[in-house]
């Protein structure tokens, strides 16, 4: 414990040095240093892993990028000889839309739809991590902007630390749109504060809020309600005219973007691709994304209906957003870091219970963002050092006992904007604390950094296991891959053009497809990904004349290679 205290004091000394004005007189060394570190880390991930690039719906986004660059995706379903009825097409709605005209388009939010293909054209496979990295960079810049508007101490120091001490680090390394949404949301709040101070029409804030809505609906919701809280606390500086302009500018970007995407994704009559079958899993037939201007409004509503955010009740969203707004409200300065901080954590806990019934959800937020737990102790008497030590010990034990994936903990991505915003305020207040006991909170910060390092290690090991299995799969050149795990084709999207992937929802469907291959000459070889692992070895599929030999691991998902009895392959 003494060594941990010494490390905390060392961190404090470094931060005290960086707080001096001379350290940042010419340029923000720490800001660009952290940005360079994250960029190098992202490039290392791209260089090491050719297939196992971790991201939510990775395969879907890869296919969407190809679709956007070349028009309708020419999928002739290469596995149709094994599945002539098309019952095992690996992607289903709301990911893929089938139109009566016979061509398909893959759903993805419009901003990422533009950025990812652009970076792919210029930088190749590494371009897929440029969009989330730039989102993290924009988030940190927005925090600096916000810190200046709130007159917080040393925003050039605090903002980069938030990048390292929160899940913002992880979402800057994977192909997901959360960092972009958070960055736009923070720019909207900071831009609104700047406009109110300058007595300007906040059209720039509306622009950023509109962009945030196109990335992630829940981030736009938090940012929008936070902007309303800012307006409410300082409404004497806002006129009705400026609010109208703000609202118009907020809506103009989504509408304009919808028209632009519709124009760029237009399909000439001569270029229409005939899809070979009508999937039985496409009840949304005819809802081709981006085909009409009015469809853009539907795409902004659908995430609330289909994503887990749709289960988050308004009864917990609104109070949480209001509590965040109270951090910025001058009338509540007296209770800013005591009562409001306790209510903030209670609000996050309430929101997490609405998102999922799993108890580890809220624990994941605090283990990934330990600094959030410091807020109830800020600006209190030095005697609370004992409580802080107890809190640090509890977080340490929780991180050791419970599985830790750092930023990939449950709950972090849907509440990323509140987490980033809350930790930024906590660190800013930490710099104002009494030096006599400030170092105790440094222990919490070191713990947060350790959790992020551990999370990166977990992510790297997870990708290593995937890479080995996928390399074997591609090198063995199977005729197709059969899986009953719904997310397998989404994560293996990059190999879809190399190896056909069949997806069967149930074990009977797996059995039916395998039996159908018996009539095909020559008989194909294939991989089979099953869950649980023991089902194939125990003969639950009742496959005649087939032997299962374990081939590799797909990130904890067993992959088996099947050959017929007596096969020399």
Q: Count other C-beta atoms under 10 Å from residue 4's C-beta.
A: 15
Q: HSE (CB half, 13 Å, CA atoms) of 551? A: 26
Give the model's confidence band at 533: pLDDT under 50 very low, under 70 low, under 90 confident, else very high: very low
Distance CA 35, CA 442 (A): 22
Who wins on pLDDT, 56 or 227? 227
| The predicted structure's pLDDT at residue 240 | 46
Distance CA 537, CA 555 (A): 19
Average per-residue pLDDT for the chain? 59
- Are 529 and 515 in contact, with CB atoms under 8 Å apart? no
Q: Residue 331 pLDDT > 50, yes or no?
A: no
Distance CA 521, CA 409 (A): 47
Give the model's confidence band at 233: pLDDT under 50 very low, under 70 low, under 90 confident, else very high: low
pLDDT digits (tens, 9 = 90+) for 511-532: 666 666 666 666 666 666 543 3
Q: How many residues does the chain have?
A: 569
Distance CA 430, CA 8 (A): 13
Q: Residue 138 pLDDT > 90, yes or no?
A: yes
- Are 280 and 133 in contact, with CB atoms under 8 Å apart? no
Distance CA 38, CA 177 (A): 17
Point out which residues pair with 558 in neighbouring strands. Answer: 553
Percent of the chain exceeding pLDDT 90 equals 2
Distance CA 303, CA 312 (A): 12
Q: Give residue 287's Cα distance to chain centre.
A: 25
Who wins on pLDDT, 234 or 41? 41
Point out which residues pair with 104 in neighbouring strands. Answer: 98
pLDDT digits (tens, 9 = 90+) for 380-402: 544 455 555 555 565 555 555 55
Q: Residue 296 pLDDT > 70, yes or no?
A: no
| The predicted structure's pLDDT at residue 207 | 77
pLDDT digits (tens, 9 = 90+) for 237-279: 555 455 555 555 555 554 454 444 444 333 332 222 223 322 2
What the block records as the tokens of 486 is 């719904």
């Amino acid at each position: 414990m003494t060594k941990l205290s010494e490390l905390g004091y060392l961190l404090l000394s470094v931060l005290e040095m960086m707080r001096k004005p001379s350290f940042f007189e010419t340029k923000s060394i720490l800001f660009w240093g952290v940005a360079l570190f994250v960029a190098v880390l992202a490039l290392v991930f791209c260089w090491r892993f050719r297939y196992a690039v971790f991201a939510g719906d990775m395969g879907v986004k890869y296919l969407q990028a190809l679709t956007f660059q070349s028009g309708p995706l020419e999928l002739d379903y290469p596995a149709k000889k094994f599945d002539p009825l098309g019952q095992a097409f690996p992607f289903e709605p709301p990911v893929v839309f089938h139109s009566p005209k016979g061509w398909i388009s893959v759903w993805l939010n419009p901003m990422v739809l533009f950025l990812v293909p652009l970076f792919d054209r210029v930088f190749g496979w590494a371009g897929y991590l440029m969009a989330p990295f730039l989102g993290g960079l924009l988030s940190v810049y927005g925090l600096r902007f916000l810190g200046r508007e709130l007159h917080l101490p040393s925003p050039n120091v605090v903002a980069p630390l938030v990048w390292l001490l929160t899940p913002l680090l992880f979402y800057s390394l994977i192909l997901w749109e959360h960092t972009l949404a958070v960055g736009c949301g923070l720019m909207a709040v900071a831009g609104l504060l700047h406009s109110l101070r300058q007595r300007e029409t906040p059209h720039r804030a509306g622009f950023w809020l509109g962009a945030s809505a196109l990335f992630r609906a829940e981030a736009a919701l938090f940012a929008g309600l936070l902007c309303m809280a800012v307006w409410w606390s300082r409404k004497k500086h806002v006129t009705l005219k400026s609010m109208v302009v703000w609202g118009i500018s907020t809506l103009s970007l989504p509408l304009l973007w919808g028209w632009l995407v519709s124009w760029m994704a237009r399909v000439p009559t001569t270029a229409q691709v005939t899809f070979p079958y009508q999937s039985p899993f496409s009840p949304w037939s005819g809802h081709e994304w981006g085909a009409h201007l009015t469809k853009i409004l539907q795409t902004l509503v659908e995430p609330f209906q289909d994503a887990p955010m749709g289960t988050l009740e308004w009864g917990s969203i609104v109070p949480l957003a209001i509590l965040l707004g109270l951090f910025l409200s001058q009338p509540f300065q007296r209770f800013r870091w005591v009562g409001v901080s306790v209510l903030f954590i209670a609000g996050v806990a309430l929101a997490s219970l609405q998102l999922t019934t799993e108890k580890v959800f809220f624990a994941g937020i605090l283990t990934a963002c330990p600094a959030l737990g410091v807020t109830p102790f800020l600006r209190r008497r030095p005697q609370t050092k004992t409580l802080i030590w107890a809190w640090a010990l509890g977080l340490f034990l929780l991180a050791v006992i419970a599985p830790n994936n750092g930023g990939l903990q449950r709950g972090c991505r849907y509440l990323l904007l509140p987490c980033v915003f809350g930790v930024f305020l906590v660190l800013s207040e930490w710099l104002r604390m009494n030096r006599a006991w400030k170092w105790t909170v440094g222990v919490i910060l070191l713990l947060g950094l350790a959790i992020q390092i551990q999370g990166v290690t977990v992510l790297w090991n997870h990708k290593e296991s995937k890479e080995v299995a996928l390399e074997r799969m591609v090198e063995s050149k199977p005729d197709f891959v059969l899986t009953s795990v719904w997310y397998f084709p989404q994560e293996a999207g990059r190999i879809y053009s190399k190896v056909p992937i069949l997806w069967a929802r149930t074990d009977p469907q797996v059995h039916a497809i395998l039996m159908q291959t018996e009539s095909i000459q020559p008989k194909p070889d294939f991989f089979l990904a099953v869950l649980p692992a023991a089902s194939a070895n125990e003969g639950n599929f009742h496959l005649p004349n087939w032997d299962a030999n374990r081939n590799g691991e797909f990130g904890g998902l067993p992959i088996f290679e099947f050959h017929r009895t007596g096969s020399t392959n």
